[in-house]
Chain A
Amino acid sequence: MKVEIRNLTKHFGDLIAVDSVSLTFEDGKLTTLLGPSGCGKTSTLRCISGFYEPDEGEVYLGDSVVNQVPPHRRNVATVFQNLGIFPHMTVFENVAYGLRVKKRPKSEIQDRANELLRMVGLGDLGERYPKQLSGGQQQRVALARSLVVEPGVLLLDEPLSDLDAKLRVEMRKEIRKLQLELKTTMIYVTHDQEEAMAISDYLAVMNEGKIKQVGNPAEIYRRPDNEFTARFIGKANYVNGQILAVEEEQVSIDLPFGSILAKRTSDDIQTGDEVGIMFRPTEFSITDEKEGVNVIAGTLITSMFLGSLIRYEVDVGMEDNIMVDVPEPEADTLLTEGQELFLRILPDSIYLIPV
């Protein structure tokens, strides 16, 4: 089922949690609302599930406005952050609950609940009580309980936040697998950008109650179109600068640590424009040349060995230090802190963001 919100606004007293947000969630796809805590993603979700009534705007489930419809009459199911598993019911009873409420025939309840339990890999544990299960298993119970009612849309509110790192990775694969198998429309809320990128068809980056950017994960990562997204998604160095000159293929930009050349990515760049510059830590090389195009001098502040790469923090005379990742480091190339070094940025890897 397609879900759409139009000009959705939700206040809590003076605080505007959701600020006139419009967004379409495609049918059969997994869309993630991604943003830091307090950005309004959960409030948006609760307006869709019906636990909040929007102050302004509309929520469409399919083709109908559901603003006035109470949660239990919406064709929506939610996996809650704390799961909300019923501790006094067995795993099977938990999963069967939605069907029992809807007064489905006994045999159907039996079959459907068992089928879902099998799908989430809990086929044998139906008679157990939730407290006898591990965190990951409880997660699966919550998923099965919501999916059993065949909701038009499944909402997931940071469902993995209480799990440890390894289990989180495993469960997000599981959720994605189920989503592709059942083709359920899902709206997923998280603040973990890696999780969001791994799981989603589409990402909507949110901050301060507003949508900052929408797109598929690769687009968002490679071509952030605003400072917030650039800083929030992935490790990034972000600098504000001014266009010095515009040429056919390249532009030259004035930055606090000197001027550099970058690839011209759009037509409407004028000399004198204020722009943001983003470059990923991997897009540097350490060079022996002391001068040249796009070569920056700096002082090494810290180096961190991270296994497959080494991360340098370099002071180039700005407020923020620059992060540089060097892949496959060899022990003898390790630089010492306080050392002078020179970095080269490739013109193609610099991404301009309109301010």
Chain B
Amino acid sequence: MVFNQFYRYIRRNTLNVILLFLLVTFILYPMLTVFRKSFMVDGVFSVANYVKFFLNFRYVRILLNTFAVAVPVTVISTLFGFVLAYSAVRLKIPGSGLFRRLALFPLIIPPFLAAFGLSLFIGRNGFLTRLLNLSWNVHGWLGIVIVQSIVFIPYVYLTLEGSVQSLDPTMEEVSRDLGAQEFYTFRRVTMALLTPSLLNSALLVFILSMADFGTPMLIGGRFRVLSVSIYVAMVGALSRVGWAAVMGSVLLLPLLGVLIIRDRLIGEKSYITVSGSRAATSYRETSWYIKLPITLLLGVVSLLILLIMGTVVVMSLVKVPLVNYTFTFQNYPELFQSFVSVPTLLKNSIQMSAVAALIGTVVGLAIAYVSVRHESKIGNFLEYIALVPFAIPGTVFGVGYILAFSTGWIALTGTWYILAINVAFHNLPVAVMAGKNQLQQIDKEMEEAARDLGASGLRVFKDILAPLWRPAFYASGIYVLVTGMRTISAVIFLVTPQFNILAVKLLDLLERLHLDLGTPLAVVLVAIVLLIQTLLYQLSGEKGLGL
């Protein structure tokens, strides 16, 4: 009897049940495994690990370091991203198109590459440092803050662009009209209305900074943050998975806290939108004394990105990077003849990312559909879980996968598709949000009209939903694919000697200072990602981010 009811429920809610199974298996289960592992000492439940962590100043110091980076980065990145978004949408600033392009560039490069570029440029043995014979040191806290502040700008930009666009300029005009000064208007009208979005993007940056591990790895020097310690514990000479799990939990808990605060505080769930459609902009007249500092700020940021990337390109074209600056093209052919098997790595990267994009997008859109159209408790619950990976640092997600899928009922470690699944589920929030945003713009009445005219549920999906939903499908697919091509943090634990990918290999080369191979490989990787993204946007007919 009970079984019959259960069976009927499952049949009527097949989609929900499948989605729930996937989310529990690939998001909740690995995370719970991390927590469980952190409480296990010699096979018994114990809080000894946590006592050890919090009583040892060395570890507390690492935790404090992590916050010491995240807080200033959050402030600077949010400020820059906001200035960029506001000026791109509202102010007529000369060259703002170029600024926008350059500022969004970090979205398509491996996250650690900017750090590497900066150290090539002004690092201890950097190009400029040597040239001017200086003895400054950017390795450490300063370097991490500079690089992260720059590379997280695009995320702020993408969160804010839509909000600024939907801000009716009439309101600002009304304020001016009623006699308010420019600055007063900005403070009481513009900023007041944008506060939720600003808070939202600030929390996003905070999470990204806490989670980032490539940047502190390459430019942090002796300044340790949690994500790097987790990595070292996992791959160091003597692997201490349990200890990595403890640090992972310590890192994860505040981030989950941030996520919950965010939902409570802001309510709206507008993470970055990748729908790619840019609404019309409405410019307004502004005085030169406002435009000038903004232009300078944008100029400096753009120049820095240009110099960082330019240094990498230049170094790939000299005989011995940082030592012998004779121009040569030789590094590229040598790269392809070296032990770095570029074609295989490239094939692996694309194969893994493409499958990840497919899984992530299909699952993400299905969850978006259930959440928007069914308006049921289970729909909201599914969406809630699907957005959790947003707060899970890649390293912790990777540790979770290692712990959860090495043995037991789903043993997938060592296979290439565990990488794809990992990338897919880590980027699920983006797919869900892209799907939701698009779906909310598709009037439900269209589906009802089709049903009303005699179309069955499946027919409605095929005729109405699928074609209208296509932009979201492409946008999130391309986003996940590009992310898959450039990501390292989670997959670095999951690659095997048999199946390595381009970005991980690149980090490996740069870390071991194989500059003659690393710099050309970086250029090749960025070029390929750029090419793939452009090609896909062309093929899909979508507008893209305009990079």
B468 at the interface (CB under 8 A from A): yes
Please state if B452 and A77 are interface contacts (CB–CB under 8 Å).
Answer: yes
Please state if A78 and B446 are interface contacts (CB–CB under 8 Å).
Answer: no
Given the complex of chains A and B, what is the CA–CA distance between A355 and B406 in angstroms? Answer: 79
B138 at the interface (CB under 8 A from A): no
Task: Tell me what chain B mostly uses at the interface: helix, strand, loop, or mixed.
Answer: helix
Please state if B454 and A85 are interface contacts (CB–CB under 8 Å).
Answer: no
Q: A84-B443, A88-B467 given as contacts; is B454 within 8 A of A101 (CB)?
A: yes
B453 at the interface (CB under 8 A from A): yes
Q: A80-B448, A84-B448, A146-B453 given as contacts; is B443 within 8 A of A97 (CB)?
A: no
Complex interface bits, A258-299 against B, C-beta within 8 A gives 1, otherwise 0: 000000000000000000000000000000000000000000
B451 at the interface (CB under 8 A from A): yes
B545 to chain A, nearest CB (A): 23
Chain A residue at smallest Cβ distance from B459? A101
Please state if A72 and B454 are interface contacts (CB–CB under 8 Å).
Answer: yes
Please state if B455 and A101 are interface contacts (CB–CB under 8 Å).
Answer: yes
- Residues 75 to 93 of chain A near chain B (Cβ within 8 Å): 76-78, 80-88
Please state if B467 and A98 are interface contacts (CB–CB under 8 Å).
Answer: no
Complex interface bits, B433-459 against A, C-beta within 8 A gives 1, otherwise 0: 000000000010111111111111001
Neighbouring A residues of B168 by C-beta, 8 Å: none
A51 at the interface (CB under 8 A from B): yes
A233 at the interface (CB under 8 A from B): no
Please state if B445 and A84 are interface contacts (CB–CB under 8 Å).
Answer: yes
Neighbouring A residues of B467 by C-beta, 8 Å: 88
Given the complex of chains A and B, what is the CA–CA distance between A61 and B28 in angstroms? Answer: 50
Neighbouring B residues of A97 by C-beta, 8 Å: 450, 453, 455, 463
Neighbouring A residues of B451 by C-beta, 8 Å: 51, 70-72
Complex interface bits, A49-73 against B, C-beta within 8 A gives 1, otherwise 0: 1010000000000000000001111
Choose among A83, A87, A149 the residue that contacts B453 (Cβ–Cβ < 8 A). A149
Given the complex of chains A and B, what is the CA–CA distance between A145 and B464 in angstroms? Answer: 15
Please state if A80 and B453 are interface contacts (CB–CB under 8 Å).
Answer: no
Neighbouring B residues of A88 by C-beta, 8 Å: 467-468
B279 to chain A, nearest CB (A): 16
Please state if A72 and B456 are interface contacts (CB–CB under 8 Å).
Answer: yes
A166 at the interface (CB under 8 A from B): no
A106 at the interface (CB under 8 A from B): no
Please state if A86 and B455 are interface contacts (CB–CB under 8 Å).
Answer: no
Choose among A72, A81, A83, A86 the residue that contacts B452 (Cβ–Cβ < 8 A). A72
Please state if B454 and A84 are interface contacts (CB–CB under 8 Å).
Answer: no
B374 to chain A, nearest CB (A): 14
On chain A, which size bracket covers the interface? 20 to 34
Please state if A83 and B445 are interface contacts (CB–CB under 8 Å).
Answer: yes
**Which of B453, B455, B467 has its CB near the most chain A CB atoms (within 10 A)?**
B453
Given the complex of chains A and B, what is the CA–CA distance between A73 and B443 in angstroms? Answer: 22
Please state if A81 and B454 are interface contacts (CB–CB under 8 Å).
Answer: no
Chain B residue at smallest Cβ distance from A157? B445
On chain B, which size bracket covers the interface? 10 to 19
Please state if A82 and B443 are interface contacts (CB–CB under 8 Å).
Answer: yes
Contacts between the two chains (Cβ within 8 Å), count: 64
Given the complex of chains A and B, what is the CA–CA distance between A265 and B453 in angstroms? Answer: 49
Chain A residue at smallest Cβ distance from B449? A84
Given the complex of chains A and B, what is the CA–CA distance between A146 and B448 in angstroms? Answer: 12
Neighbouring B residues of A81 by C-beta, 8 Å: 445
Neighbouring B residues of A86 by C-beta, 8 Å: 446, 449-450, 463-464
Complex interface bits, B403-447 against A, C-beta within 8 A gives 1, otherwise 0: 000000000000000000000000000000000000000010111
A38 to chain B, nearest CB (A): 19
Neighbouring B residues of A78 by C-beta, 8 Å: 448-449, 452
Chain A residue at smallest Cβ distance from B468? A88
Given the complex of chains A and B, what is the CA–CA distance between A200 and B290 in angstroms? Answer: 61
Neighbouring B residues of A80 by C-beta, 8 Å: 445, 448-449
Neighbouring B residues of A77 by C-beta, 8 Å: 452-453
Please state if B464 and A71 are interface contacts (CB–CB under 8 Å).
Answer: no
Neighbouring B residues of A83 by C-beta, 8 Å: 445, 449
Given the complex of chains A and B, what is the CA–CA distance between A51 and B449 in angstroms? Answer: 11
Neighbouring A residues of B455 by C-beta, 8 Å: 72, 97, 101
Chain B residue at smallest Cβ distance from A80? B445
Neighbouring A residues of B454 by C-beta, 8 Å: 72-73, 98, 101-102, 149
Given the complex of chains A and B, what is the CA–CA distance between A275 and B208 in angstroms? Answer: 72
Please state if B448 and A82 are interface contacts (CB–CB under 8 Å).
Answer: no
Given the complex of chains A and B, what is the CA–CA distance between A142 and B449 in angstroms? Answer: 9
- Residues 54 to 103 of chain B near chain A (Cβ within 8 Å): none
Chain B residue at smallest Cβ distance from A79? B449
Neighbouring A residues of B453 by C-beta, 8 Å: 72, 77, 97-98, 101, 145-146, 149
A88 to chain B, nearest CB (A): 5
Given the complex of chains A and B, what is the CA–CA distance between A81 and B444 in angstroms? Answer: 11
Neighbouring B residues of A102 by C-beta, 8 Å: 454
Neighbouring A residues of B463 by C-beta, 8 Å: 86, 97, 101
Neighbouring A residues of B452 by C-beta, 8 Å: 49, 71-72, 76-78, 146
Given the complex of chains A and B, what is the CA–CA distance between A77 and B463 in angstroms? Answer: 18
Given the complex of chains A and B, what is the CA–CA distance between A72 and B463 in angstroms? Answer: 14
Given the complex of chains A and B, what is the CA–CA distance between A124 and B416 in angstroms? Answer: 57
Given the complex of chains A and B, what is the CA–CA distance between A142 and B448 in angstroms? Answer: 13
B161 to chain A, nearest CB (A): 24
**Which of B449, B456, B459, B464 has its CB near the most chain A CB atoms (within 10 A)?**
B449
Given the complex of chains A and B, what is the CA–CA distance between A88 and B459 in angstroms? Answer: 15
Given the complex of chains A and B, what is the CA–CA distance between A84 and B452 in angstroms? Answer: 11
12 examples of A-B residue contacts, CB within 8 angstroms? A49-B452, A71-B452, A72-B454, A72-B456, A73-B454, A83-B445, A84-B448, A88-B467, A98-B453, A101-B463, A102-B454, A145-B453
Since A71-B452, A72-B451 are in contact, a sample of 18 more A-B pairs with Cβ atoms closer than 8 Å, ordered by chain A residue number, is A76-B452, A78-B448, A78-B452, A80-B445, A82-B443, A83-B445, A84-B443, A84-B449, A86-B463, A86-B464, A88-B467, A88-B468, A97-B453, A97-B455, A98-B454, A101-B463, A102-B454, A146-B452
Which 6 pairs show the lowest CB-CB distances between chains A and B? A84-B445, A98-B453, A84-B449, A80-B445, A84-B446, A101-B454
- B interface residues with partner A (beta carbon < 8 Å): 443, 445-456, 459, 463-464, 467-468
